[in-house]
């Protein structure tokens, strides 16, 4: 969407302000994080025709319900992915890039926040504003993030190099996300808070504890093996907790399975 094009111009300036090694750390870190974030953001494309229809029919209750369901799915996936990348960043860097890219570990951990933020600014809230005819509000939100990104790049990059660029990107994306949420709540009356938030955060907390424990358990083991082991165990624990805490999505899956078994 437009946010990507708007940020691209200023992100290009990163290459000019920092040395080639720092550019390599930043660009490779960005690729890892965006591979996950863009997948989640892309899923939201299916919402546009549905939102367009609902707005044309003035079905506000269904719009709120659909946006709430999508937010549930987004947070359900993005939050554990964000935490997982933060906690396994050192292993990811070693496996994908080797020991020479150690400085990229901190950069990846900073950029991991984009996994949660990008599906909001480029996903559900972007679709809501565009399909409801609020293009000028969407443009304002994007321009706000672009200005913040440009200013922070000039301030932070000379001091923190690639980590400064990462911080600028996260704060800029946060600016866009928060402004879109505020505008959506005021103009379309969509609420970001939903009843499944607690189950997601509790499950993520349990997953974090297990992931840290697994990391300590696999000290001295091959990086490949420890990374795969940690991802598998943490993923299983997370989704078991989601079912245990009776998230709406898990309830629907259980009901579908029961129906199929009866048939």
**Residues 140/200, Cβ–Cβ less than 8 Å:** no
Token reading at 102: 């150690």
Do 103 and 115 reside in the same domain of the chain?
yes
Instruction: Say how far apart CA 149 and CA 169 lie, in whole Å.
Output: 6
Do 137 and 238 reside in the same domain of the chain?
no
Q: In sequence order, which ranges of 195-247 are alpha helices (DSSP H)?
A: 197-217, 223-244
Give me the pLDDT at residue 164, please.
Answer: 94
Q: Which domain holds residue 219?
A: 195-263
Q: Of 191, 209, 242, which closes a domain?
A: 191
Is pLDDT above 60 for 168? yes
Do 214 and 108 reside in the same domain of the chain?
no
Is pLDDT above 80 for 204? yes
Looking at every residue in the chain, the average pLDDT score rounds to 85
Instruction: Say how far apart CA 214 and CA 209 lie, in whole Å.
Output: 9
Task: Give me the number of domains the chain comprises.
Answer: 2
- Whole-structure pTM value: 0.88
Q: Which tens digit of pLDDT belongs to each residue from 32-46?
A: 999 999 888 887 777
Q: Which of 185, 179, 211, 191 is nearest to 79 (CA)?
A: 211
Do 103 and 162 reside in the same domain of the chain?
yes
For 80-112, letters b (16+ CB in 10 Å) and e give: bbbbbbbbbbbbbbbeebeeebebbbbbbbbbb
Do 186 and 207 reside in the same domain of the chain?
no
Do 10 and 27 reside in the same domain of the chain?
yes
Q: Of 191, 207, 227, which closes a domain?
A: 191
Do 237 and 177 reside in the same domain of the chain?
no
Q: Of 191, 226, 246, which closes a domain?
A: 191
Q: Which tens digit of pLDDT belongs to each residue from 43-78?
A: 777 777 788 888 878 887 888 888 888 888 889 999
């Amino acid at each position: 969407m437009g946010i990507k094009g708007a940020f691209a111009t200023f992100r290009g300036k990163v290459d000019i302000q920092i040395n080639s090694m720092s550019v390599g750390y930043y660009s490779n870190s960005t690729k890892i994080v965006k591979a996950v974030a863009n997948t989640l953001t892309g899923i939201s494309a299916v919402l546009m025709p549905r939102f367009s229809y609902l707005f044309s029919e003035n079905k506000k209750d269904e719009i709120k319900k659909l946006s709430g369901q999508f937010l549930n799915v987004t947070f359900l996936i993005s939050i554990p992915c964000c935490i997982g990348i933060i906690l396994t960043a050192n292993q990811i860097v070693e496996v994908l890039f080797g020991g020479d890219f150690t400085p990229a570990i901190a950069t990846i951990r900073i950029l991991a926040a984009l996994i949660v933020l990008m599906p909001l600014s480029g996903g559900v809230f972007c679709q809501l504003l565009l399909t409801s005819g609020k293009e000028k509000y969407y443009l304002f939100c994007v321009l706000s993030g672009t200005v913040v990104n440009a200013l922070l790049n000039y301030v932070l990059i000379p001091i923190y190099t690639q980590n400064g660029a990462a911080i600028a990107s996260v704060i800029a994306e946060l600016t866009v996300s928060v402004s879109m949420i505020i505008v959506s709540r005021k103009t379309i009356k969509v609420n970001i808070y939903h009843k499944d938030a607690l189950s997601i955060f509790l499950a993520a907390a349990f997953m974090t504890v297990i992931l840290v424990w697994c990391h300590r358990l696999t000290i001295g083991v091959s990086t490949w093996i420890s990374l795969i082991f940690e991802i598998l165990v943490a993923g299983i624990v997370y989704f078991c907790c989601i079912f245990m805490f009776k998230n709406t999505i898990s309830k629907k899956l259980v009901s579908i399975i029961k129906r199929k078994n009866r048939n």
